[in-house]
Structure formats: C-alpha cells, structure tokens
Amino acid sequence: MSHEDIHRDDDQALEQRLRAALRPVDPGAGFVGGVMARVAAGRPGKVRPLRARTAASWASFALAASIVVALLLAHQRQVQRTEQGLEARRQLIEALRVTGDKLDLASRMVNAPPSPNYSDSGA
C-alpha cells in the first residue's frame, strides 16, 4: 500500500468520523411552540407594536400642536402690538389736529381788526 493510499484511507476515516460527530440532533420538545409564540408576538398589528406606534403618533401630534399654538400666540401678540401702535398714532394725529384748530382760532382772534363800536365809544 502506497503512502498516498494510506493518506486517502486516513482522510476517509476522518470524514466518516466527522459525519458521525456532526449527526443532526433534535432541539427540545418545546421548540416549535417557542417559534410560534415568537411569531405571534412579532406579528404586525399586535397589541404591543400598535401601542408603541400610537404613543409615538400622539407624541408627534402633541409636539406639532404645541409648535402651532406657540406660533399663533406669537402672531397674536404681534398683531395686538401693531394695533396698539396704530391707535396711539391715530390719537396723536387727533390731538395735533385739535391743537392746530385751537391755535388757528387763537391766531384769528389775535389778528382780527379792532371792533368799530369800541372806537366810537372812546371818542
């Protein structure tokens, strides 16, 4: 028997031993039940994922609503301040107009010619 034949026989023996050592074995009795339970727990639409998704949706909605309310309040305050400014401007113009009228009246009275009746009585 040549050296190669001996080596081939050794290889075949080792391969047989490996096949025997790696014979498939069964898992525990509850294996299929465990798989089905995990499948049921992970199925889409089940309580846990749905709850998680709902909570996430509500959180997003609440955040978006808070931002919108904050923007509306800021806008409302801006409008209010603009209106107050316009009202103050209107009141100032009105006051200036009244003052102008009064001054105009006073000016006319001062610059008016003396009354003839007053001159006659003095002569």
Partner 1 sequence: MSGDQPCTSGELLARAISGDAAAFGTLVRRHQRSVYSLALRMLTDRHQAEDLAQEVFLQLYRSLASVESEEHLGFWLRRVTMHRAIDRLRREPRYLTSTLADAELLAGEAPDADPILERRLRGLLEELAPAARAVVVLRYQEDLDPAEIARTLKMPVNTVKSHLKRSLAQLREALTAPGPGGDGDRPAPPQPLPSGHRTLV
Cβ at position 45, least distance to partner 1 in Å: 12
Query: Nearer Cβ to partner 1, position 10 or 83?
Result: 10
> Which residues ranging from 14 to 43 are in contact with partner 1 (CB under 8 A)?
14-15, 17-28, 31-32, 34-36, 38-39, 42
Lookup: tokens for 25: 């074995």
CA gap 7, 14 in Å, rounded: 10
46 scored as a contact of partner 1 (CB under 8 A) = no
What is the full DSSP assignment across 30-69?
A: THHHHHHHHHHHHSTT-HHHHHHHHHHHHHHHHHHHHHHH
The nearest distance, CB 2 to partner 1, in angstroms, is 18
